[in-house]
Structure 1
């Protein structure tokens, strides 16, 4: 195996392990599009449903997670995509999510499962839908 390939293997192994774990035990109201993720391990699509008894109950969202080659040492890019972007103070109209663990507070110890739980928690704790341009 070449040095170039050897450097990418841990990245792919970690993603494969995280994907399996996510499929087996997803956060509440979330489903990973496994067939898409298997076609391109660097881009995941997660279908998400707003939690019961919240402002987003019954709403459906789509998260896109893009992994760079330095994952898990650099945070993934997590955005809302599709027709229904949540109206939330920490979500821009283009789907960009303002969440500290996706930037300054990122740690390689975090998993995609924990990131998704944080996004769900962020939405669930919202008291008022406010548009963030």
Structure 2
């Protein structure tokens, strides 16, 4: 096993132990059977009418370079778990959030902080819409989420 993989396993083991002990309100661990893929559910806790009474499923995929590299995080559609409608969430579950990209990621982040950031992103949303070009993006995209080079509004031109 490469040294990075050992470090990722050690880090994920510590995160999993902490998650089993306590998670912030509105975040629930669904499964973490290995150190490659975890599923968590999140709920928006405020009174945002766009997400009232909804629970959303997140899939985290970890590489052997975690936490140096961000995990791949997407929303997963299930019969009782829709993909939230948000200007930064594509209808296939891909999330446009700088925190999840190479430029915005920091190894101090973790599964819990990503879930909390996504809760916050949903809490602050007032627009019941998908990102511009959602249909074309979903139809044409063949890249893994971590390989997509999103342009963020705060990027310098």
The two structures have a TM-score, normalised by structure 2, of: 0.75
Match of 2:126 in 1: 127
> What does residue range 1-133 of structure 1 map to in structure 2 within 5 Å?
4=1, 6-33=3-30, 36-37=31-32, 39-54=33-48, 55-83=50-78, 84-103=82-101, 104-132=103-131, 133=134
> 1: distance between equivalents of 2:62 and 2:70?
8
User: What 5-or-longer segments of structure 1 have no aligned partner?
Assistant: none
Aligned length in residues:
127
Deviation, 1:6, is 4.7
Deviation, 1:7, is 4.4
> 2: distance between equivalents of 1:5 and 1:75?
18
Deviation, 1:72, is 0.5
- Secondary structure class of the residue paired with 1:94: coil
User: What 5-or-longer segments of structure 2 have no aligned partner?
Assistant: 135-157
The two structures have a TM-score, normalised by structure 1, of: 0.88
> 1: distance between equivalents of 2:77 and 2:24?
20
